[in-house]
Amino acid sequence: MYYGGYYGGYGGNWMLFLFPAILFAMYAQLKVSTSFNKYLRVSSRSGYTGREVARMILDRNGLYDVRIEPIAGQLTDHYDPRSKVIRLSSNVYNGNSIAAVSVAAHEVGHAIQHGEGYFPLILRNNIAPIASIGARFVWFIIVIGLVISPFLVEVGVMLYLAVVLFQIVTLPVEFNASKRALYQLEDGIVFRDEIDSSKKVLTAAALTYVAATLVAIGQLLRLLSISNRRRD
């Protein structure tokens, strides 16, 4: 496998890319935390809880077979396509804040994507197992490869490519879910003057996915640089 031109052009400059990406990731994490906590204290005037909003939107879209369950932690909310379950953290499940209803609607956005066969979501779900292996074992494979064989370093790079692809595909999936969430919230769930607050919560969350993608690309450049030096 030959990546010579790519290595030569970008491999040596991975630090110039990765370090700013890490700083941006730290900023994004701070932004989502502060935005979530801020609007967690602002009640939605409709009074609906996150669980009620999720059920309302699911039923509105004919997704009667999707269940809603509470899950421990904060910002642990997610949709599990294998089990068709939306899991909401306690602040979201039981809360009636702007943050709660916004996050709940976002997760339902993923369920709607799944129900419609939204291609980027299907692609992400198919890449996920390989990406998980790549993220977990890449440095083990790279270290072993540095000692034993350059081929293993190449294998590590290829595995990590799946991580980067997963992060890239995640971007349209998350942005689309937020777009769907806002559309549903505007349809009688939150008042018009509350929509901007919902947008702020969802935009802050989206930043974390952008940051994760940039960090993954930076790490890939780092791995390419390591592989290039090992080959030399």
Q: Which of 99, 97, 118, 115 is nearest to 57 (CA)?
A: 115
107 is catalytic: yes
Of the listed 52, 107, 154, 174, which one is catalytic?
Answer: 107
Q: Catalytic residue numbers?
A: 107
